[in-house]
Structure formats: structure tokens, C-alpha cells
Chain A
Amino acid sequence: MTEKKNVKPKSLATGRITAFFASLKLTIFLLILLALVSIIGTVIPQNQMPAEYLKFYKESTYTTLKAIGFLDMYHSWWFVLILALLALNLIVCSLKHFPRTWRFFAKPTRLLDRDLEKAANLIWHSPGKKKWPEPAGLLPQLKTLWPGKWCLTEHQGERGPEFHYAGEKGCWSRLGYYFVHLSILVIFAGGIIGSLFGVKGFVNIPEGEKVSSFYTYGAQQTSIALGYQVECRDFTVEFYESGRPKEYSSDLAIYDDGKLVKEKRIEVNHPLSYKGFTFYQSSYGAYGGAVELELNFRESGLVLPLKLEVGKPLRLPEKWGWIEVLKYDENYMRMGPAVMVLRDPGNGVKPYRFQVFQRYPKFGEQNSKTGEFCVFKDIEQRYYTGLQVNKDPGVWIVWLGCIMMILGLFVAFFMSHRRLWLRLAPANDNPERLELVFVGNANKNQPAFAAEFQELVKKIKAWK
């Protein structure tokens, strides 16, 4: 625990630096510091457009916040520096402690000497009266009594030969917290690999069309080739009665080298992966399907069936002017599908606009003031599906780290290194008789081990 004997003069400064980076106080400081600075990014929205910030902050505040990295703080140099210091702390500390832990494996304590006896808090001495089993035959008995790893050492004591039995269980549990610490480094490594070699982007695919590249997020939006084609065959969306979306999904197909290689219906929470890229259902939109309307003229009773593209004005025959569908809503004011129509009768009457509802065909007739009205028959609704596209080669390393961490935590918290020693040696008062000393030690959860120890003592007392 104190300085080693072979400290050379020149290593004094290095020694201090090592001690600093190995210290648990630094760990506590860094962890609390991380907790504190992380709060900043939850209070100040991160990575917004400049315009968003300027709504809340003055220009000068904005530039200051940006300069100190508060607007993208989890990637700022100082946040990364704290993480790097933590990693360094972890490595130095583990390297420093490891040799001491390794000694439990390399040089287990086999002799129950007087020091160990004095320091023990679980100890039982035989009254020294009984006759104990043959020293050599004890080992198998001990193994059935407590199935750990046992070994016997013969030792020449002051009053004659002594027999030392050492047994242990769960020595490897001492590695638990090294495993936890290593897992943190593994997760860091996965994160770094992901940010260096991964890409994130999006692509919108109209129903029935194919794409072979996608766009990255950010200001530049560079296009990235997939190396194959993705087709959106079909897109569907369902709603709850409240108008909230219930489920939306896209039927995707992948063509590699012109051949169909994969098909899958993806929805939120059910993505599709192919050759390193994963496609996630993230949004959707409606776009220009043909709307089927009937234009009714009340006086003449004439019905004019029309097929209109959204946003494309249509010139009607005779002198009936123009008509245009301005907009389509799937669920306008919770009244179902509706279109907004712009009508220019062309006879000097001012153009006007109105909503036509698919679910309420009578509505138009009842509310018309102009002698004509529209009925919304159908829409050849076409959607595009919005996919998020992702490639993260580090993600498996992160999961590996997570699994290591969870396993390591269970070992660190719920397993312990339990050791027992038993010594048969000539008694102090009568070298002819053998005296038995029994000692136990656990590095964690002592109360449970103490109970186990008392049970063992009872069984030893029962020995003939």
C-alpha cells in the first residue's frame, strides 16, 4: 500500500503523477463534475438552427454560448476531455491495483499463521480435548463439507509438524470490478468507432419508386451511395379515432445488382438492415395523388366528373372557368379526408375556396351559395415514406461493452471471494494432542458468510 522499495529518485515526479491519476478522489471528482456539466445540455437545447436560438437569446449571448460549446456541449472539446481523463484515471488505477489482485491467484495464502489468526474475525478454536481425524484423511472430508478448492500444506512448526488446509471459492469474483472498468473503455471504443466510421442520414422514397443513395443530416447534406437500390412498394398509415397515428409502415424491397435480394414490411420499431445500412421508418408525407371530384351544377343538373392533380389548375370546357385542388388533408379537423378547392367560375365572379369532405357528401350541397357544389369521390392517394438511414460499425462493440458491464456488476456486487483455513497443530499445553483452529474470511457480504461459517463449525464439532 505504501511506496515500493525500488523507487528510483527520477521516478518521484512520475510517481506523483501516477498517484494523482490513480486516485479514487479524482474519480469521484470527475464523476460529480460530469453529472454537473451534463445538466447544462439538458437546459439549453442542443444543436438547433441559429434562428431558433436567436428567438430566445441576444446575438451576443448566442455567440458566447456557441464559442464555449454550450450549444453542442456533449461533443465539445472540454466534455470529451473530462471523459478522456476518466478513461485515463480508470486505466492507471486498474493497472496500479491489478498486481495486488493478481496475488490472490498467483500466491494464495496457504498457511494459517499467527498474523492471519490474529486478524481473523471469523475464528473457532477447538477445546483441544478431542481426538481429530487423521490429518491425511481430512482433505476429502473437508471437500464434502465445503466444496471449494482445497489444498493441504505440511509445515514444520515449533512443536512439531503442522497441517494447514486452505480452501477457497469465488476468487475470480475479485475480477468483477476490473471487468466493469474494462467495459467502460470498450463502450468508449465503440462510440469512437461509430463517430469516426459511421454515417446517419435520411431519404424519402415515393411509393413505387427506387433510390440508390441517401442524404446526410446537417447543412451540406451530401449524398451517399448505398451500392444497391431500395424500392418503396407501398406505404400505409392507420389512425386512432382521435386522429393520432396508430401505425405506419412501408413495404420495402432491396435490389442488389438488379436482383431482388430482400423484402420486408418495416414500421416504427421494426427496421430493415442490409449490407451495413439500416433503414428506419421515421416519417411520411402525402404527395400529389389524383383527386376524383364531381362538379355539380344545381340548375342544369349537370354532373362533371373530374380528375385533378393537387396543385395543378384545370381549365374546364365551355365557359365554366378554372378549378384547382390546393391541398389534401387525411384528417381535416378530425372530419376525415378533405380537399381544399379553389374555384374560379371565370364569369367575373371572384375566385373562392372551400373544403370538400369525403365522409360528408351532402355538406357541399347544403352549404353552397353559388349554384354549384363539389362531391369528393375518391383520391388516388400517394405517399412517400421517410426513412432514416444509418450505419454504425461501432454499435456491436458498444453492446459487447454493455453486456460486460452488466455481468461485471453482478459479479462485483453479488459474488464474493470466500476463504477458509484449518490448522491441525500440536496444542500449546500438550504437544501430544492436536489442536484445531478454523478461520474464515469473505471480501464481501460478511454477515451471510458468518452464518455459513457457524454452520460449518457445528459440523466440525460433530466430527468423531
Chain B
Amino acid sequence: MNTYIFSIVTFVYMAAMVVFVAYLAFRKPLVARVATVIMTAGWLAQTAAIGLRWYESYEMGIGHAPMSNLYESLVFFSWTIILLYLFIQYKYKIKILGAFVTPFAFLGMAYASISPSVNETIQPLVPALQSNWLISHVVTCFLGYAAFAVSCGVSCTYILKKRYEDRQATGGVLGAFPASGVLDELIYKTIAIGFPLLTIGIVTGAAWANYAWGTYWSWDPKETWSLITWFIYAAFLHARVTRGWRGVKAAVLSIVGFVAVIFTYLGVNLLLSGLHSYGGG
């Protein structure tokens, strides 16, 4: 049942994405409002389905929060991206970013629903994952990842807009984007949200590892990649206050940071080996 709702949500997010792109082209506030409504509806349905899946796992007698395998984590990832996006849109009143952020949520859901290598069934937890640390660790990591996804979307926009401003062009789609200064501030804001969350995610992971098997840090590939991501965003934070590193270079660092996030999340399991569980699905 829940997987059925998730596939519908996938299409809803696709629709929201299309309408957000249409907003880029037509720039009518009504279009943006429609896109936001579609997106919110999809998010509410997804929230309900996550709750349902949680409930179903208890019905099956293997109750656990729905964040334990690749399928569930992809769904959760999309959910946090939309949540964070809606928060930012509400707080900073910028609707133009939707077109750059929805694709991440849509792709996450589509990958979860379509890829044959992603197992949709609710599975029991292996002993190592049976811990209260699981939820705090996963939730903080994914909220951080979602903030970085949004910042990556903004960074791409920023680079396009900056080039456009440097050409002193007018009109066109890019003309409708917020000024590069505003975008630059937004990149910083989203990373300022993501960085503490990633830090908490790494710390809760370390605390859990210490509690479970007595080492807070063992340089396993997933741990190391999360630290690599952390180094990149730390570099970004310092780049922003360094002459010669501001602007486009810092934006590129934030995009590289998000590539590292994706690798931490998916690449490590698909290409490298280690302790974390959602390999292959």
C-alpha cells in the first residue's frame, strides 16, 4: 500500500517540477503558487505513506522506523529535500529555486520506485541496526544532505546568474532570477543549516559506533566519505571569507560538496565496501 502511494508521489513531484520550470519561462506568480500547492500535496501524501509504512512494519512484528534500507532512505531523502525547500521558500519568499530543487526529490523517488536493484519490501533489522541511535543518526544526516541538495541547486543558479550579470545582459529567463548577491547569501544560509546537521550526523554516528562496537571512528569508507564531505564544506565556509575565493569558486566548492554527499550516500555502497547496510538494497 505505502509503495503504491510512493509511486504516485513520484509523479506528483514530476508534475511540480514541470510547473516550476514553466514558472521559470512564464514568470506568473499564479504558476508558482500552483507548483507549490502540487508540491505540498505530494509532500503530505508522502508523509502519510511514511507513517503508514512505519505502522505496517509494526503490524508485521518487525517494527522499526522506515529508514533502514536503500529504498526507505531514498524516500526519506526526497521527503527531507521537499521539507527543507518548503521551509526556505516560506522563510525567504523565493520561488524560483523550485525548478532546481524538485529534480533531486523527483530523481530520488524515481530511482527508488523504478530501479530493479532497490528492494521495496519491509525487511527486519540486523542486530547492529537495532538501536535508538538509528533514528537520530539518519534523520540528522539526511536533513543535512537535503540542505546541501538545496544549496547545490542554488549554486548552479548562482553561477548562471553571475555569468549573466557579468555579460551585463538583460531579459531572458535568467533575468527573472534573484540577483547573484541574494543567491550567494542563500548558498551560505543553506550550508549554514546543512553543516551543523552533518556535524551532528557524524557525531551521532560516532557515538553509536562507540556504543555498539567500541570505536568511535574506524575510518570505514562511509565514515571517511562523510568526513570528506565535511572537509569540503568547511573549505567552503572559509572560502567565503577569503579574498580570491569568494563567489564562483565558493559556489563550485558547494557543488563539489554535494557530489561528495551523493557519493557518501550511494557511491560508497555501490562501489566500495564497509559497515553500512543499504548496499544493493
Contact = CB atoms under 8 A, between A and B. Distances in A.
A31 B250 CA distance: 14
Given A25-B242, A280-B214, 13 more contacts: A24-B238, A35-B228, A38-B224, A38-B231, A45-B273, A191-B217, A200-B215, A240-B124, A245-B127, A268-B212, A269-B212, A271-B211, A406-B203
Given A43-B272, A268-B128, A388 B213 contact: yes
Interface stretch (A161-169, A222-230, A319-327, A394-402): A394-402
Given A406-B199, A409-B199, A395 B216 contact: yes
A314 B177 CA distance: 86
A124 to B, nearest CB: 23
B212 A31 contact: no
Q: Which 4 A-B pairs have the closest CB atoms?
A: A390-B214, A268-B127, A31-B235, A42-B221
Interface in B112-147: 124, 126-128, 130-131, 133
B266 interface: no
A269 B231 contact: no
Contacts of A247: 127, 130
Nearest to B127: A268
A32 B228 contact: no
Interface string B219-257: 101001101100110110011011011000000000000
A350 B4 CA distance: 60
Interface in A187-222: 191, 200
B268 interface: yes
B13 interface: no
Contacts of B196: 406, 409-410, 413
Interface residues of A, number: 45
Contacts of B131: 269
Contact of A35 (B213, B231, B241, B244): B231
B211 A27 contact: no
A278 interface: yes
A50 to B, nearest CB: 19
Given A74-B219, A269-B130, A271-B214, A28 B268 contact: no
Contacts of B130: 247, 268-269
A181 to B, nearest CB: 11
Nearest to B133: A269
Given A28-B238, A268-B212, A410-B196, A246 B219 contact: no
Given A31-B232, A409-B199, A278 B214 contact: yes
A16 interface: no
B38 interface: no
Nearest to A405: B199
B195 interface: yes
Contacts of A41: 219, 224
B207 interface: yes
Contact of A32 (B193, B200, B224, B232): B232
A280 B238 contact: no
B212 A32 contact: no
A366 B87 CA distance: 69
Contact of B127 (A248, A278, A389, A392): A248
A291 B279 CA distance: 39
B113 to A, nearest CB: 24
Nearest to B128: A268
Interface residues of B, number: 44
A402 B206 contact: yes
A35 B256 CA distance: 11
A34 interface: yes
A193 B42 CA distance: 51
B231 A42 contact: no
Contacts of B215: 200, 390
B241 A246 contact: no
B224 to A, nearest CB: 5
Interface in B256-281: 260, 268, 272-273
B192 interface: yes
Contacts of B203: 402, 405-406
Contacts of A405: 199, 203
Contacts of B217: 191
B224 A409 contact: no
B212 A28 contact: no
18 contacts: A28-B238, A28-B242, A31-B232, A35-B231, A41-B224, A74-B224, A191-B217, A200-B214, A240-B124, A244-B124, A246-B127, A247-B130, A268-B130, A269-B128, A269-B133, A269-B211, A269-B212, A405-B203
B235 A398 contact: no
Nearest to A446: B185
Nearest to A401: B203
Contact of A413 (B195, B214, B241): B195
Contacts of A410: 196
Given A35-B231, A35-B232, A406-B200, A28 B214 contact: no
Interface in B187-211: 192-193, 195-196, 199-200, 203, 206-207, 210-211
Contacts of A35: 228, 231-232, 235, 260
